[in-house]
């Protein structure tokens, strides 16, 4: 069959800063998925988009072309209203684990299609696989049955959702075009819109440990994604949140699960609880079911009950001991004073080097590897006290992990410093968009 366009003319149009037409966008995404447009041609187009941008119409059309490349899910047969959350990723970001059962305990179902980690950012599925027996892959029928019965599911996305995105993401990863905001936004939103949830709350992170280091860039990404969701008929809001310091006191897999369970049990670090409750309130409001305060529901233990049912439904044992690393190494405070900075990126890279993350898709991760933090910015520390404990099954990894921590923290003699306000950690939520 003859093709409607030629890849070179589409590339040249964006190279020369022209708007791509709807038919051009529909064709190039479809032709790339079919293998008619070669990787090197799509690489050139992705670079042109990175350099010259896209307007709102172009981004919306590109997103819908990616959705059209695969199947769409439909939750309308459920007796529940649905709402979903997406985080742009960070260090110690275990929020999905307590959030999904909490929102379900408040009466809104959460179909959470999650991914695996790559590099310094952890993957939700990798964390949950630290629980003995838990499985990430469910059929659509299993997912629907679990949602109807329990109200919460966290699982891997099926291959049928936005296959164009899977192909394009892998290409962007190796061609220096990951940072293109139109392509980030359309990548995330094509999957979320195709998933069919009734409403969506985005957790867009800014700071050293985030994909977007700059708050203004993160805000632009958030505004773009909120517009895409709303244009597609999905009620969408975003919270801009701080990722200059790791979330909570753990970065890894099993150790993050343990911290999430602490939150569900009524404890856990204040920042994790704060963000979990803030996102839950937004999800309930977006779903039109904000008659219950998630902070009260969390304190009642109802979310813990949903968590245990959710884990059991996917083959896991929520009461089984979590894996423990064979080896540990303690990093101590060199001086006394106030911890004024703890850089998220450095901690994330250390956890990755210990075996908590992967450097290429498909690589195995260590369930017990990671970093446990004994202080956060604003805390007083004493010379010689444990600051960080590194966990791994392979002690030969310690040297490189310790090297990643060089210069990632500051200890001062006052109360003020980067990431702190009056000696206390600054608020996690920076802004709300939508």
Catalytic positions are 86, 165, 172, 187, 191
Q: What is the DSSP letter of 248?
A: T
Cβ count near 355 (within 10 Å): 24
CA distances from 113 to 92, 166, 228 (A): 19, 14, 19
Angle at Cα 194 formed by Cα 364 and Cα 75, nearest 5°? 100
Helix H or strand E segment including 402: helix 398-404
Say whether 332 sits in a helix, a strand or coil. Answer: strand
DSSP, collapsed to helix, strand or coil, labels residue 118 as: strand
CA distances from 3 to 32, 36, 37, 218, 362 (A): 12, 9, 11, 38, 35
Cα–Cα dist 305/150, whole Å: 10
Cα–chain center distance at 129? 16
In angstroms, rounded to a whole number, what is the distance separating the alpha carbons of residues 339 and 386? 12
* Rounded alpha-carbon distances, angstroms, from residue 43 to 32, 38, 172, 175, 420: 11, 9, 7, 7, 41
Per the rule left: phi > 0, alpha: psi between -120 and 50, beta: everything else, 414 is beta
| Rounded CA separation 73/111 (Å) | 11
Helices (H), 132-240: 140-150, 163-173, 181-195, 215-231
CA 164 vs. chain centroid, Å, equals 20
Residue in the structure block whose two tokens are 């979990």: 276
Q: Which distant-in-sequence residues (6+ apart) come within 8 Å of 1 by Cβ?
A: none
């Amino acid at each position: 069959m003859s093709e409607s366009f030629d890849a070179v003319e589409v590339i040249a149009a964006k190279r020369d800063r022209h708007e791509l037409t709807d038919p051009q966008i529909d064709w190039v995404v479809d032709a790339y998925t079919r293998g008619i447009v070669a990787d090197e041609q799509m690489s050139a187009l992705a670079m042109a988009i990175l350099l010259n941008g896209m307007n709102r119409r172009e981004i919306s059309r590109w997103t819908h072309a990616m959705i059209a490349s695969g199947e769409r899910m439909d939750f309308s047969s459920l007796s529940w209203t649905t709402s979903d959350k997406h985080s742009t990723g960070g260090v110690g970001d275990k929020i999905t684990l307590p959030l999904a059962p909490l929102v379900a305990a408040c009466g809104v179902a959460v179909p959470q299609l999650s991914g695996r980690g790559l590099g310094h950012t952890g993957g939700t599925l990798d964390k949950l696989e630290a629980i003995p027996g838990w499985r990430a892959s469910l059929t659509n029928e299993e997912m629907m049955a679990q949602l109807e019965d329990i109200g919460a599911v966290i699982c891997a996305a099926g291959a049928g959702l936005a296959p164009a995105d899977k192909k394009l993401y892998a290409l962007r990863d190796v061609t220096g075009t990951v940072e293109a905001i139109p392509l980030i936004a359309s990548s995330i939103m094509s999957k979320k819109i195709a998933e069919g949830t009734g409403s969506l709350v985005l957790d867009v992170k800014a700071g050293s440990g985030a994909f977007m280091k700059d708050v203004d860039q993160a805000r632009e990404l958030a505004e773009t994604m909120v517009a895409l969701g709303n244009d597609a008929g999905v009620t969408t809001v975003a919270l801009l949140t701080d990722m200059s310091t790791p979330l909570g006191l753990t970065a890894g897999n099993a150790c993050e699960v343990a911290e999430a369970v602490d939150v569900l049990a009524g404890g856990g670090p204040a920042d994790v609880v704060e963000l979990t409750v803030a996102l839950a309130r937004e999800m309930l409001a977006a779903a039109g079911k904000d008659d219950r305060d998630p902070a009260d529901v969390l304190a009642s233990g109802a979310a813990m009950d949903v968590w245990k049912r959710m884990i059991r439904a996917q083959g896991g044992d929520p009461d089984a001991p979590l894996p423990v690393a064979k080896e540990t190494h303690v990093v101590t405070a060199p001086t006394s004073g106030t911890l004024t900075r703890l850089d998220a990126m450095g901690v994330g890279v250390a956890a990755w080097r210990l075996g908590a993350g992967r450097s290429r898709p498909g690589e195995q991760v260590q369930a017990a590897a990671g970093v446990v933090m004994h202080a956060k910015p604003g805390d007083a520390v004493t010379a010689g006290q444990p600051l960080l404990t590194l966990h791994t099954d392979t002690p030969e990894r310690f040297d490189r992990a310790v090297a990643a921590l060089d210069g990632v923290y500051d200890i001062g003699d006052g109360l003020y410093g980067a990431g702190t306000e009056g000696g206390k950690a600054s608020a996690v939520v920076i802004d709300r968009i939508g």
